[in-house]
């Protein structure tokens, strides 16, 4: 190779090195500028909010469960049908409930009659006790009369017995006086026995009255225990009859209708579900690294894949789930292994939606949402 060729190659390498240096400097400046822009965005713009597309519409469904058993005779709604609170959903055959109601009405009437009979019996026992006590006074008078007769008979007998020796009283008169004394003693004993019997009968009659009155004391024809029991059975029968007509517990849309006409349903079985489309929320699953500044009360904006970006919903954070999704899964993650790899977890954040916006643009449970929370709002 000639000296001229060597000089040309040397000048070319020097020229290449002189061009490479400005390029490297420009590249470094560009990378630094990009890093600075990202830092500025993250500090002044990105740090003001957190967002996720892992969010879904949820709601507190109302399960319609009949509270009485029977055969379904009419179903007035079907899946996807909107209903209002109190609207008739289906009816259950009510023949058994009507029979039970008639029986309960009859039992209440019988209980009221028995109570009235008890009151009448109480009055009768009271009158009987009063009559027994009145007879006591008559018996006392008889005892007093018998004792007076006995006293006279004793006096007459003693007087005649004293005169027997003088001959002023004959033996027949003394015998008669003795017989009168014995008769007066017997009459007095009989009167006293009759008095004791009358007193015992009066006490027994009064105690019978007290025992009968104790069953109704402090009660009326509405508060007596047996009447209240019969009334409660009647109220239950009326309630069971009313429960054969099942109405919507809330406003919403029918979902999962599980009954047909002619089917026998059991009390407590789920017949259908009512979804409250006017009171929905969003569970947004944020990464744990995003939640350091998220607080309840912060505002949020949401977009639904159902309507696209043209419809924006507004809501606010109302709380956090009690654990991550993996913590409540059927098979929780077991990280105590030698090949453990750390995975960023997600925690559901519940966002309440504006009912007016839901009314204007209805959503359904399970739809996907994009959620963004403003971190600059006050807690």
pLDDT at 15: 46
More reliable by pLDDT, 18 or 221: 221
pLDDT, average across residues 168-176: 74
pLDDT at 379 over 60: no
DSSP letter for 323, please.
S
**Confidence at 335, pLDDT banded by 50, 70, 90:** low
More reliable by pLDDT, 14 or 101: 101
Give how far Cα 211 sits from Cα of 172, 236, 284, 361, Å: 58, 32, 72, 73
**Confidence at 277, pLDDT banded by 50, 70, 90:** confident
Rounded to 5°, angle at Cα 158 from 157 and 164: 85
pLDDT, average across residues 264-293: 91
pLDDT at 42 over 80: no
Instruction: Provide the CATH topology of domain 97-238.
Output: 1.20.120
Name the average pLDDT for the chain: 84
- Burial group, residue 231, by CB count within 10 angstroms (0-12, 13-18, 19+): middle
Rounded to 5°, angle at Cα 362 from 360 and 368: 130
pLDDT at 166: 72
Where, residue-wise, is CATH 1.20.120 in the chain?
Answer: 97-238
CA distance 189 to 201: 18
pLDDT at 199: 84
CA distance 96 to 107: 17
CA distance 175 to 161: 10
pLDDT, average across residues 111-124: 88
CA distance 315 to 352: 5
pLDDT at 208: 84
pLDDT at 238: 95
pLDDT, average across residues 54-59: 93
pLDDT at 370 over 90: yes
pLDDT, average across residues 3-19: 52
Give the class (CATH, top level) of 62-93+245-275: mainly beta
pLDDT at 44: 55
Where, residue-wise, is CATH 2.40.50.100 in the chain?
Answer: 62-93+245-275
pTM over 0.75: no
**Confidence at 337, pLDDT banded by 50, 70, 90:** low
pLDDT at 214: 81
pLDDT at 56: 95
Count the neighbouring beta carbons within 10 Å of the beta carbon of residue 51: 16
Contacts 24+ apart (CB under 8 A), 329-337: none
Q: Report the range out of 96-100, 129-133, 167-171 with the highest average pLDDT.
A: 96-100
- Lowest average pLDDT, out of 5-14, 71-80, 253-262, 299-308, goes to 5-14
pLDDT at 349: 94
């Amino acid at each position: 190779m000639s000296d001229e060729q060597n000089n040309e190659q040397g000048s070319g390498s020097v020229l290449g090195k002189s061009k490479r240096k400005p390029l490297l400097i420009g590249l470094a400046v560009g990378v630094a500028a990009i890093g600075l822009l990202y830092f500025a965005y993250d500090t002044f713009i990105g740090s003001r909010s957190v967002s996720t597309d892992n969010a879904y519409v949820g709601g507190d469904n109302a399960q319609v469960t009949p509270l009485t058993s029977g055969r379904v005779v009419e179903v007035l709604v079907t899946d996807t049908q909107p209903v209002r609170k109190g609207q008739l959903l289906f009816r259950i055959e009510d023949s058994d409930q009507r029979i039970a109601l008639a029986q309960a009405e009859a039992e209440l009437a019988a209980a009221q009659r028995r109570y009235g009979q008890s009151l009448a019996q109480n009055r009768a026992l009271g009158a009987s006790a009063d009559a027994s006590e009145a007879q006591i006074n008559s018996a006392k008078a008889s005892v007093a009369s018998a004792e007076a007769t006995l006293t006279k008979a004793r006096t007459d007998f003693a007087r005649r017995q004293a005169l027997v020796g003088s001959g002023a009283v004959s033996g027949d008169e003394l015998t008669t006086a003795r017989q009168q004394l014995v008769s007066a003693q017997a009459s007095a004993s009989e009167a006293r026995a009759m008095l004791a019997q009358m007193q015992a009968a009066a006490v027994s009659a009064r105690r019978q009255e007290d025992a009968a009155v104790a069953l109704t004391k402090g009660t009326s024809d509405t508060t007596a225990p047996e009447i209240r029991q019969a009334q409660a059975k009647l109220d239950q029968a009326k309630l069971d009859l009313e429960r054969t007509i099942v109405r919507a517990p809330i406003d919403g849309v029918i979902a999962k209708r599980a009954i047909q006409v002619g089917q026998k349903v059991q009390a407590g079985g789920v017949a259908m579900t009512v979804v409250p489309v006017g009171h929905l929320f969003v569970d947004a699953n944020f990464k744990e690294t995003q939640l350091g500044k998220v607080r309840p009360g912060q505002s949020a904006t949401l977009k639904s894949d159902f309507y696209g970006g043209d419809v924006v919903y507004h809501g606010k954070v109302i709380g956090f789930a009690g654990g991550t999704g993996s913590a409540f899964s059927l098979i929780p993650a077991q990280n105590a292994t030698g090949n453990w790899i750390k995975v960023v977890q997600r925690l559901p954040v519940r966002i309440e939606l504006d009912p007016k916006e839901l009314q204007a643009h209805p959503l359904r449970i399970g739809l996907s949402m994009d959620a963004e929370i403003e971190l600059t709002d006050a807690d």
